[in-house]
Amino acid sequence: MGMITLLTDFGHTDSYVGVMKGVIASISPQCQVVDLTHGICPQDILAARFNLLTSYGYFPSGTVHGVVVDPGVGTQRAAVAAQVTAAVGFHTIVAPDNGILTGFPITAAVALTNADYWLTPQPSCTFHGRDIFAPIAAHLASGVSLENLGVPISVSSLVSLEIRDAVATDQGYRGSIQYVDHFGNLVTTIVGDRVTSQAWHVCMDKYVVPYYTTYGHAEAGTALALVGSHGYVEIAVNGGSAAQAFGAKVGDEVELLTFAMGGAGRCFDAPI
């Protein structure tokens, strides 16, 4: 029995997700389908990438991940399937080639040109999730090989998003916000296991946010910086939204400083 995860920006108001599941069940009725999330903000490719990148490794080897966040549906953008490595085994991602695959350890990729594995040889111009991605995922989960699905393409040809990785500085690390979660936590590009100091803090613009080990160790309404479950440094407000408190968004620059707050100089207390 194969496994498929689904990640979309479809929400739960309309029937789109249910229809995709119906297509999968028609092709591979024994396949287990897991809803990774359908709450991605419409057309938010960066959020889709982050959620899949930080989640796929928790699934069994051989899992197929169907991703449909596709503002370019019906255009010349390619539909692809890519094999990626994990700590144990491999996974396959079926997605539009629009940058969602940026940063994944891809070992092989194909353009999904073989219409024999589509739902119809004349797919809708607005619902490739139903007509291409769902049936391809079902066939993969049923044992169809990647090579049968279309034309091999080079990994380097895939669309890549501009994502600023964190860089080391004389005083710590400089990075940016890469994701804002449902709680308003600001997830940065700074990898948590690189930070060994116990006296670090994060600066955004004119604000300084001190390090805590977890949310509840800070007083209610207090801003804090911590290493979150994704493994990245994030900025939060205990019982509140850091995104609202700071007016922050994806792409904003942050700096992690590994010395006592008294030496921060240009930083001031957070406005919480």
- H-helix or E-strand spanning residue 117: none
In a domain, 162, yes or no: no
pLDDT of residue 265: 40
* Helix, strand, coil in percent for the chain, rounding step 5: 25, 30, 45
pTM beyond 0.75: yes
CA distance 174 to 112: 39
* Average pLDDT across the chain, whole number: 94
CA distance 113 to 106: 19
Asked if 113 and 223 sit in the same domain, the reply is no
CA distance 105 to 86: 8
Asked if 174 and 153 sit in the same domain, the reply is no
State which of 157, 179, 196 marks the end of a domain: 157
In a domain, 13, yes or no: yes
In a domain, 28, yes or no: yes
Given a contact cutoff of 8 angstroms between Cβ atoms, the answer to whether 100 and 45 are in contact is: yes
Q: How confident is the model over 202-249, as pLDDT tens digits?
A: 999 889 999 999 999 999 999 999 999 999 999 999 999 999 999 999
Length of the chain: 272
In a domain, 184, yes or no: yes
pLDDT at residue 268 above 50? no
Asked if 177 and 243 sit in the same domain, the reply is yes
Asked if 151 and 201 sit in the same domain, the reply is no
pLDDT of residue 267: 43
CA distance 3 to 64: 6
pLDDT at residue 264 above 90? no
188 versus 199: the higher-pLDDT residue is: 188
Asked if 123 and 249 sit in the same domain, the reply is no
Asked if 228 and 95 sit in the same domain, the reply is no
Asked if 25 and 149 sit in the same domain, the reply is yes
Closest CA to 163 of 95, 108, 100, 72: 100
State which of 130, 157, 184 marks the end of a domain: 157
Asked if 55 and 122 sit in the same domain, the reply is yes
Domain count, the chain: 2
Asked if 64 and 173 sit in the same domain, the reply is no
For 15-138, strand residue ranges (E) read: 32-37, 64-68, 79-85, 90-96, 106-111
In a domain, 187, yes or no: yes
In a domain, 33, yes or no: yes
Contacts of 166 (CB under 8 A, 6+ apart): 173, 174, 175, 176, 188, 189, 190, 191, 194
pLDDT at residue 261 above 90? no
Tell me the C-alpha to C-alpha distance, in Å, between residue 234 and each of 201, 202, 237: 11, 9, 10
Asked if 59 and 140 sit in the same domain, the reply is yes
State which of 137, 157, 177 marks the end of a domain: 157
Segments forming the whole domain that contains residue 137:
3-157
pLDDT at residue 93 above 50? yes
Given a contact cutoff of 8 angstroms between Cβ atoms, the answer to whether 51 and 79 are in contact is: no
Asked if 190 and 253 sit in the same domain, the reply is yes
Tell me the C-alpha to C-alpha distance, in Å, between residue 121 and each of 73, 116, 117: 16, 7, 9
pLDDT at residue 269 above 90? no
37-46, 131-140, 263-272: segment of lowest average pLDDT: 263-272
The CATH number linked to 194 is 2.40.30.90
22-31, 101-110, 146-155, 258-267: segment of lowest average pLDDT: 258-267
Asked if 132 and 198 sit in the same domain, the reply is no
Exposure string of 169-208, with b = 16+ CB inside 10 Å and e = fewer, is: eeebbbbbbbbbbeebbbbbbbbbeebeeeebbbbbeebb
In a domain, 113, yes or no: yes
In a domain, 255, yes or no: yes
Query: Partners of 108 in the beta sheet?
Result: 83
The CATH number linked to 151 is 3.40.50.10790
CA distance 174 to 230: 18
